[in-house]
Amino acid sequence: MPTHQTDPRLLSLLHTPGLWRGSAHAATRSAFADSGVSTGFPALDACLPWQGWPRGALVEIITPLWGIGELQLVLPLLQQISQEGSNSVWFAPPCSPYAPALLASGINPAHLYVVSAPAAQLLWGIEKALQDAACALVLAWPGRVSHRQIRRLQLAASAGNTLGILFHHGALRQSTAALRLRVEATRQGLRVEVLKARGSYRQSTVALAREAP
C-alpha cells in the first residue's frame, strides 16, 4: 500500500467522490451492523448489511404462492417483538392466523391485530400503521403494488421507524424497498435469495432448513 501514497495522480483519483472502493464495503457493514434486528437465522443474518432485519424500512418478501414457509422467516422476529411487549399489525393476511399455533411458537396473540379492508383502503391503512411509532411491525399482503406505492410506504416506514414487511408474488423488476427477498420452497426447506439489500451489492442465496412438523 505505500506506492499510491507517493503518486499524486492516484491520490487525486482516490479523492474523487464518485469512486467506490471495495474496501469500503467492510466499513459500511460495520456502520450498519448494530442497526438491525436479528432474523433468527445466522446464515441469513450474515448476508444482510444490517446483520438482520433493518429498522425503519420496508422489506419485500416475494413468493410464488402463499403457504410455502414464508411465515417461518418472520416467526423469530414476531417472537422477539412479542417478548418486548410491542404490537404488530397484520393487513389482509391470506387466511386467518391461528392463535394456538402462534402461542405455541412463543408469540402472544394479544399483541397482534388483524385488519381487513377493501383493496382501495388497504394501502392507506398500511401507511398509517407504518407512520405510527406505536406499531413495531407491520405485515401486509397488499396484492399488486406499484413503484410509487412502495416508495411511499418506504418513506412512511422510515418516518415511523417501523419495520414493514410486504408479501407479494412479485411482478416488479425493482423497487425502492430497503430489502427484497425471494423465497422458494425446496425439498429440504427454504431457499432465500437476497435480490436487493440497501448498502450492499452482494446478491446471495441462503438455504434454510424448515422445522420438522
Partner 1 sequence: MTGRLHQLPLLGRPQRTLRVARARMPQTTPGKTPRPPLWYAIALPQLLGIPDAQVREEKLALLARQLGQLSGTVSVEAPDSLVFEARSSLRYFGGIHSLRTHCRQLLQPLLSEWGLPVDFHQAASPTPAASLLLARAGCNLLVHRRENLRSALGRLSVQSLTLSQQRRQQLHNSGLRLLRDVWRLPAHALGQRFGTQFLRQLDQCLGHVATPVKAYESPPRFNSSLEFDYAVEGSERLLPAIEELLERLCAFLRARNLSTLHLQLSLQHEAQAPTLIALDMRHPGQSRAPLQLLLETRLSTLTLPAPVCGVQLEAWRFKSAAAGTQSLAGFSAGEGAAAQTGPARIAPLLGLLQARLGDAAVHSLQCQADHCPELATSPTPGDAQTGRPPMLALQARRPCWLLPAPVQLQQHAGQLLYRGPLQLLSGPERIETRWWSGQEVCRDYYVATNPRGMRLWIFHEREGERRWFVHGIFD
Binding site for partner 1 (CB under 8 A): 64-72, 75, 84-87, 89, 93-105, 108-117, 121, 124-125, 128-129, 132, 134-136, 184-186, 210, 213
Among 117, 126, 137, 142, CA closest to 56: 137
Least distance between partner 1 and beta carbon 156 (Å) = 12
30 or 143, CB closer to partner 1? Answer: 143
Least distance between partner 1 and beta carbon 136 (Å) = 8
| Identity of the amino acid at 58 | L
Least distance between partner 1 and beta carbon 21 (Å) = 37
Cα distance between residue 103 and residue 97, in whole Å: 11
114 or 155, CB closer to partner 1? Answer: 114
Least distance between partner 1 and beta carbon 210 (Å) = 8
Least distance between partner 1 and beta carbon 11 (Å) = 45
Q: Let me know: does 128 contact 155? Beta carbons within 8 Å.
A: no
137 or 197, CB closer to partner 1? Answer: 137
State the CB neighbour count (10 A cutoff) for residue 114. Answer: 14
Surface-to-core class of residue 108, CB atoms within 10 Å of its CB (0-12 exposed, 13-18 middle, 19+ buried): middle
Cα distance between residue 108 and residue 87, in whole Å: 10
Report CA torsion sign: 89, 134, 52, 212: negative
Cα distance between residue 156 and residue 141, in whole Å: 17
State the CB neighbour count (10 A cutoff) for residue 202. Answer: 10
Least distance between partner 1 and beta carbon 9 (Å) = 51
87 or 175, CB closer to partner 1? Answer: 87
88 or 175, CB closer to partner 1? Answer: 88
42 or 85, CB closer to partner 1? Answer: 85
Among 52, 32, 35, 55, CA closest to 43: 52
